[in-house]
Amino acid sequence: MARREDRLSEVLAAVVRLYSRTGRPVSSSLVARWLGGDVSSATVRADMHRLEARGLLAKPHTSAGRVPTDAGFRYFVDRLLQEEPDVSPELRAARREVERRLAAAGDRPDALQRLATLLAETTGSIGILLGPAWDSVRAQRLALYPKEGRRVLLVLVLENALVRTELVTGDREYPPDLLDAAARLLSERIAGRTVAEIRSGVLDSLDARTGEADRCARELVDRAPRLFADPEPGRLELAGVERVLEAPEFADPEPLKRLLRVVGSPRAVVDVLRRLPLRENDVSVWIGAENPLDDLHPFSLVATPFGAGGRHGVVAVLGLRRMPYERAIGSVQVLWRNLARPH
């Protein structure tokens, strides 16, 4: 019985891989050849009937071949994710290719677009890189610059040369030396803190009764609510959309409309990534109706968070349900480790 179950898993894996390559129903004779001729076509046909009865394969229309169902893809992916890292030759090949291309590029590319393009090219799907959100970026200092009249420009300097500004109008004019003292006070409080930490109450202890610098700092911060609130999402990069749209599945306009509604809106992509229950140091896969957005039900999504120095982003691959899962998982793993590695 154990041998039969092993063979059923091998037949299902063969159907998934062959269907991923061609997009056409897979016949028993093709599977038999794929398995090296160790199993007859008649045996494979019987196994495919059993897999169909279990809901893992389906027979479209009158075709003699079979295609994987969402449950079949899920079974295949779960076994893939449970394998030891060096068991699957396809996973090894995907990792080697991405590592080779990263090494050929020298140091890690700073441009997220280059990484998204690499992901798209190695998987034949849509490569997605979402950079760290403002919330998780750490502050370095806060500068205060006097402008005409009672106006003051607040400049929040963050790591990696990121900057946020807000121009406020005070109740009075502030001398430059007082602004310098207030800026030093504020910088001492926020240095090394994330935007989220600052917003959650780091500056609440400022007491306007303590001294002129504290009073100035308190007044100006209270007039700059957008400096720390309503943080913007991290930078989003997508690549490979045009190539995916060439797949025969998009001869049907409905999947095309669904995909374009998502990838055509950066806000929609960010919203999808933020709704995913991502796990640290782990690659997750959503297949078909498992996706959090109805428009993504004809597709699959492979994603993992990455983080370094308290900053967090997302590496993802979005593609057809018949995407090459081994290449997608292997490529995402390599990029995630590369982004998380100190440079």
Q: What angle do CA 202, 205, 207 make, to 5 degrees?
A: 140
Of the residues 202, 227, 252, which one is the last residue of a structural domain? 227
pLDDT in tens, 217-266: 999 999 998 888 755 567 788 999 999 999 999 988 999 999 999 999 88
Q: Is the dihedral of CA 315, 319, 324, 325 positive or negative?
A: positive
Range of the domain at 31: 2-68
Ramachandran sector of residue 331 (left: φ over 0; alpha: ψ -120 to 50; beta: rest): alpha
Looking at residue 109, what is its pLDDT? 41
Query: In this structure, is residue 305 part of a structural domain?
Result: yes
Ramachandran sector of residue 320 (left: φ over 0; alpha: ψ -120 to 50; beta: rest): beta
Both 323 and 240 in a single domain?
A: yes
* Highest mean predicted confidence (pLDDT) among 129-133, 193-197, 320-324: 320-324
Count the domains in the chain.
3
Both 219 and 242 in a single domain?
A: no
| HEC-encoded secondary structure of 46-114 | HHHHHHHHCCCEECCCCCCCEEECHHHHHHHHHHHHHCCCCCCHHHHHHHHHHHHHHHHCCCCCCCHHH
Q: Is the dihedral of CA 38, 43, 45, 46 positive or negative?
A: negative
Both 331 and 257 in a single domain?
A: yes
239 CA to centre of own chain: 13
Question: Which residues, other chains included, contact 4 with Cβ-Cβ below 8 Å and sequence gap of 6+?
Answer: none
pLDDT in tens, 261-287: 999 988 899 889 988 998 888 899 999
Of the residues 193, 227, 261, which one is the last residue of a structural domain? 227
The band of 81, judged by pLDDT with boundaries at 50, 70 and 90, is confident
Find the DSSP H helices in the chain. Answer: 2-22, 28-34, 41-53, 70-82, 89-104, 112-123, 176-190, 195-197, 212-222, 241-244, 253-263, 266-275, 325-340
Query: In this structure, is residue 285 part of a structural domain?
Result: yes
Both 213 and 171 in a single domain?
A: yes
Q: What is the CATH number of the domain that holds 52?
A: 1.10.10.10
Both 151 and 222 in a single domain?
A: yes
Phi and psi at 304, nearest 5°, equal -155, 150
Both 43 and 140 in a single domain?
A: no
Of the residues 46, 68, 90, which one is the last residue of a structural domain? 68
Both 179 and 255 in a single domain?
A: no
62 class by beta-carbon count within 10 Å (0-12 exposed, 13-18 middle, 19+ buried)? exposed
Q: Would you state the structure tokens that stand for residue 23, as one six-digit string?
A: 């997009």
Query: In this structure, is residue 242 part of a structural domain?
Result: yes
Euclidean distance between CA atoms 112 and 110, whole angstroms = 6
Looking at residue 341, what is its pLDDT? 59
* 101: number of Cβ within 10 Å: 15
Query: In this structure, is residue 74 part of a structural domain?
Result: no
Both 128 and 237 in a single domain?
A: yes
Query: In this structure, is residue 20 part of a structural domain?
Result: yes
As beta bridge partners, residue 166 has: 154
Both 336 and 240 in a single domain?
A: yes
Question: Which residues, other chains included, contact 315 with Cβ-Cβ below 8 Å and sequence gap of 6+?
Answer: 115, 119, 128, 129, 303, 304, 305, 306, 332, 335, 336, 339
Both 164 and 36 in a single domain?
A: no
Both 257 and 302 in a single domain?
A: yes
Q: What is the CATH number of the domain that holds 93?
A: 3.30.450.40
Query: In this structure, is residue 123 part of a structural domain?
Result: yes
Q: What is the mean pLDDT of the chain?
A: 86
Query: In this structure, is residue 304 part of a structural domain?
Result: yes
Query: In this structure, is residue 173 part of a structural domain?
Result: yes
Both 107 and 153 in a single domain?
A: no
Q: Which of 79-93, 129-143, 290-304, 305-319 comes out lowest in average pLDDT?
A: 79-93
